[in-house]
């Protein structure tokens, strides 16, 4: 059962955010999403610890695109882990700033580093722009910043959770070394919208209707089929991916995206932990300042990251693969800092 704090928050979110889709117009949908979700009120945002340094970084890709992100680094000479964080927002809204409740808390719990990527958004930049940016950022971390993949973990929520999984698949296709693990909060893995809980949870979900999720999928996919395995990683070959930690709420419309992903990953031989929490809002770690479930989930995330990094560091089975430049999606496979 959800805490009273979470139950109160759920009612507030339903009142402020949940609306039935009334238009098929893409730009109207995007404007509404950006208005509702594109900023976080101050009472949700965390306090910044004195020993946590935050700075904006710009990256230039091979094809001249500018990728921006936010470094959150704990003041230490030997950070135990680095997280590449991919925010949610349906691929159309949100930013590293909106997701500071997660990134600040993780950097603080780990006494480590988080790089929150400000990837390009649709419909101005449709698939594969966000994926190209995520792969470019990962390459910058391991090549430009000389970070060992065994000390890296990818994480993301909602659309960013699906993007995290697509990034892992793309890294494998490129022959790049996998990170130590990945964490997915309420991941959106099926933009084709075939999950049963899009219907069965449409009234229970306090943030979204299933019909709205189906409309949103086409905005990112554009002319690409929504079941393309790099758009909807639920349909991808998942073999060879690192350990996954997946969270979802029993009442959210994307519950089946998480459950089916976990089943497919396990069938592919991937180590996966699936945690289904009762009656919590979509991506509840964002509200860690307000609800105990958010704090517990982020503490469990930090513990998983430590285990994954320690296991990868002590294992002899992780060897970097060859560096392969593949321009089938875009030329943004390497980046330099400036």
Residues with a known catalytic role:
158, 252, 282
Query: What is the DSSP annotation of 29-63?
Result: HHHHHHHHHS---TTTSPP--TTEEEEEEEEEETT
DSSP state of 233: G
Distance CA 170, CA 74 (A): 30
Measured between alpha carbons, how far is residue 155 from residues 40, 263, 323 in Å?
Answer: 20, 19, 23
Distance CA 244, CA 246 (A): 6
CB of 226 within 8 A of CB of 296? no
Nearest Cα to Cα of residue 129 among 312, 321, 332, 291: 332
Helix (H) or strand (E) holding 164: helix 159-173
Distance CA 94, CA 101 (A): 13
Q: What are phi and psi of 45, to 5 degrees?
A: -70, 140
């Amino acid at each position: 059962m959800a805490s009273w704090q979470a139950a109160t928050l759920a009612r507030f979110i339903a009142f402020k955010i949940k609306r039935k889709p009334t238009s098929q117009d893409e730009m109207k949908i995007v404007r509404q999403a950006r208005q509702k979700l594109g900023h976080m009120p101050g009472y949700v945002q965390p306090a910044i610890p004195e020993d946590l340094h935050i700075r904006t970084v710009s990256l230039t890709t091979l094809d001249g695109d500018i990728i921006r992100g936010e470094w959150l680094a704990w003041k230490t000479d030997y950070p135990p882990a680095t997280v590449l964080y991919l925010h949610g927002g349906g691929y159309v809204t949100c930013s590293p700033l909106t997701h500071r409740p997660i990134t600040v808390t993780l950097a603080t719990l780990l006494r480590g580093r988080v790089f929150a990527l400000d990837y390009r958004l649709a419909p101005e930049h449709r698939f594969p722009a966000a994926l190209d940016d995520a792969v470019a950022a990962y390459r910058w971390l391991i090549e430009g910043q000389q970070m060992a993949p065994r000390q890296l973990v990818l994480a993301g929520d909602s659309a960013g959770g699906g993007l995290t999984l697509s990034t892992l698949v793309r890294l494998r296709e490129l022959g790049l070394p996998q990170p130590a693990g990945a964490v997915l909060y309420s991941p959106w893995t099926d933009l084709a919208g075939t999950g049963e809980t899009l219907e069965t949870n449409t009234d229970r979900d306090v943030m979204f209707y299933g019909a709205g999720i189906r409309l949103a999928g086409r905005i990112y996919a554009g002319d690409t089929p929504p079941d393309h395995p790099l758009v909807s990683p639920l349909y991808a070959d998942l073999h060879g991916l690192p350990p996954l930690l997946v969270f979802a709420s029993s009442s959210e419309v994307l519950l089946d995206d998480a459950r089916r992903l976990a089943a497919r990953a396990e069938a592919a031989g991937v180590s996966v932990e699936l945690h289904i929490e009762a009656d919590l809002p979509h991506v509840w770690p964002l509200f860690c300042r307000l609800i105990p479930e958010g704090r517990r989930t982020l503490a469990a995330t930090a513990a998983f990251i430590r285990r994954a990094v320690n296991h990868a560091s002590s294992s002899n089975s992780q060897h970097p693969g060859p560096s392969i430049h593949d321009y089938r999606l875009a030329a943004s496979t390497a980046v330099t800092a400036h």
